[in-house]
Amino acid sequence: MSEEKKSLNFIEQIIEEDLKNGLNKENLRFRFPPEPNGYLHIGHTKAIGISFGLGLKYDAPVNLRFDDTNPAKEEQEYVDAIKNDITWLGYQWDKECYSSDYFQQLYDWTVQLIKDGKAYVDSQSAEAIAEQKGTTTEPGINSPFRDRSVEENLDLFQRMKQGEFDEGEHVVRAKIDMADPNMLMRDPLMYRILKKAHHRTGEDWCIYPMYDWTHGESDYIENISHSLCSLEFKPHRKLYDWFLDQVYSNQIRPKQREFARLNLSYTIMSKRKLLKLVEENIVSGWDDPRMPTISGLKRRGYTPASIRKFVETVGVAKRENVIDVSLLEFCVREDLNKTAPRVMAVLDPVKLIITNYPKGKEEWLESENNPEDENAGFRKVPFSGELYIEREDFKENAGGKFFRLTLGKEVRLKNAYIIKGENVVKDNNGNIIEIHCSYDPESRSGSGTLESKRNVKGTLHWVSIAHAIAAEVRVYDRLFNDEAPDGHKEKDFMEFINPDSLKTITGYIEPSLKDVKPLEQFQFQRLGYFNVDLDSTPEKLVFNKTVGLRDTWAKQKPKANQQATNKPQQNHQNKTSPIEEIRRAGKKYANLPEEKREVLKKKIKEAATKVEIDELEPLFGTAVKKVGTRISTMIALDVVLEQKGLKPNDSAQDFIKKAVEDKNELLKEEASRLVSKYGL
């Protein structure tokens, strides 16, 4: 039982404490309250996951409530998209609610507040009101209209509702305290005039309540027990509670609590900025596969399971941080590895002719659909004497480190035969247009012959030219080439748009894909994960690249900045990998004096910034007697978890817990820090 409590996040701890203090479990109710002024993006998935996740954990209802109080920006299109996205993610809401459902109740409560002397009509301009707000160190100034009589306020408010005034002529403000240290308490706005049709109420209203007045009261009306929101709303909590105090009787009183929002590198989360990308045709729409919107991720080939796993891995925190987008890519890569059928496609084709293969002959070879899924079965793939292979899989003159096709060397064609490069045909410009090779007819994969078991280092994917289907392939990369595109005060985020975020090419795919349906997902062997785009038709297949088989982005940046040097090539090839640096450092770490240990510790941490968690995992099983390696692994684990925004998985937790019980004090010290840091 104590083990379960340790694993609770801070929001769950709050709920458990409330239940312990008398809150009936039957009264738990949560909500997800989007404003329908744009499409949901990856940042919203955290709020969705928290609210709906709590609903599942406590078997409690979750409302989907649209905070639709600004008709100038809200549309039914966004309402429909939000509902589709939440359903696609695999969540179900209890009640579908709208703040606009409560307009009359909010109006009636405002009338009562005016009668109680707690609200008034202010006839100043927005600029004048802003000037009177004061600063964080100076109190505000009372409005000259603050002491209007109740009768005059009621009359003006009624006439505002009837449409007698223009936008900006009057507003309604709560009468609280213009000297309150929390500036949100300095007579906040409750209503403004907006003469715009609402997507649900049409032209029934021309005054609309402000968010702070609407939100908490909507929670109250819906009997929400815990109102969960991101950290920017923490200063609003005092006002949230003040407004509730004015209407609270004996219903469930909502409790506002805040969590850190989800920030992602190489991404923007502002709906306003995302809308700009759409309006200026930088992208094709809200569901462009380069967009961080849920509909964009869906179209690109991300799965609900991968996004939910990402949110779960990020966890619930109280402090803001930026999560590396590579973690999101890792989650979809891991999910698709288990589920996506393997197929063959060639995206940069060069013709390969097997000169000794019988002319006109074709074979249908057996190919495994997914080695990760024993129930996935097999399919037949056609083979012939003329194939397409990837252009980069052949070099006319190659060194000993090139394990693909070259002249005079053998490689295996996936699920087929061993071939040997013989010669090439070039065009007038010296470009290779055909590769001629020979094959060993006794070497077919799975045939059981001695020749088929011959060991060759390279394996190539291919498609038979006679059977190949041409397809449009959209190769997507990150939309921005800066880690924080909207984090530069002197520069506009549009300056960081990646000009190579989309490349459209013609590729060739095996014929088993001729009847694919939109959004179906596949692994193009050795190339990455791809899915069928919504634009795809039986006459013209279109595929999107979801993600590569491994993270290559981190390797691209140093390459782009790499300068030519006079160092021998051999030195570059013999450079120690970061994971090997960590392993080697551990061999001497425990035997060094403290001063030298600190120097080595810095080197371990630096190397750890360049490794992935899956590279570290094999070191978790290091023998007990190799205490130095276990210490260096523990140091590196701390860095990787922190940098990637991860929490220790089961194998990492086992590694840490065993280390805490070790006799070596240095190891125990490093492990204990992680236990405390992650609440293990």
For the annotated catalytic residues, the residue numbers are 35, 261, 271
d(CA 381, CA 363): 8
d(CA 537, CA 32): 36
DSSP 18-69: HHHTT--GGG--EEE---SSS--BTTHHHHHHHHHHHHHHHT--EEEEE---
Q: Binding site for L-glutamine: residue ranges? A: 67, 211
Question: Residue 10: how many CB atoms within 10 A of its CB?
Answer: 12
What is the arrangement of strands in the sheet containing 342-343, beginning at the earlier edge strand? 342-343, 521-524, 528-532, 542-547, 469-476, 502-509, 345-346
Burial bucket for residue 658 (CB in 10 Å: 0-12, 13-18, 19+) = middle
Instruction: Give the tokens for residue 308.
Output: 């939910």
Helix residue ranges, H only, 120-171: 126-131, 150-161
| 168 within 8 A of 125, measured Cβ to Cβ | yes
| Polymer length in residues for the chain | 680
Residue 258 makes CB contacts below 8 A (sequence gap 6+) with: 228, 229, 230, 231, 233, 234, 237, 318
| Backbone angles phi and psi of 182, in degrees to 5 | -85, 110
14 to each of 46, 143, 429, how far by Cα in Å? Answer: 18, 40, 72
Q: Binding site for ATP: residue ranges? A: 35-37, 261-262, 269-271
Residue type present at position 419: I
Of 539, 536, 521, 486, nearest to 267 (Cα)?
Answer: 486
Question: Cα(first)–Cα(last) distance of the chain, in Å?
Answer: 14
Burial bucket for residue 598 (CB in 10 Å: 0-12, 13-18, 19+) = exposed
Question: What is the DSSP code (8-state) at residue 483?
Answer: S
Radius of gyration of the chain from its Cα atoms, rounded to whole angstroms: 31
Of 139, 137, 179, 510, nearest to 342 (Cα)?
Answer: 510
d(CA 451, CA 193): 83
| 120 within 8 A of 113, measured Cβ to Cβ | no
d(CA 674, CA 391): 48
d(CA 659, CA 668): 6
Residue type present at position 552: T
DSSP 338-400: HHSPEE-EESSEEEEEETTSPTT-EEEEEEES-TT-TTS-EEEEEEESEEEEEGGGEESS--T
Sign of the torsion angle spanned by Cα atoms 310, 313, 318, 320 = negative
Q: Binding site: residue ranges? A: 35-37, 67, 211, 261-262, 269-271
DSSP 394-426: EESS--TT--SEEBT-EEEETTS-EEEEEEEEE
H or E element that contains 459: strand 459-460
CA dihedral 83, 87, 88, 90 (to 10 degrees): 150
614 to each of 502, 548, 552, 637, 648, how far by Cα in Å? Answer: 29, 16, 15, 11, 12
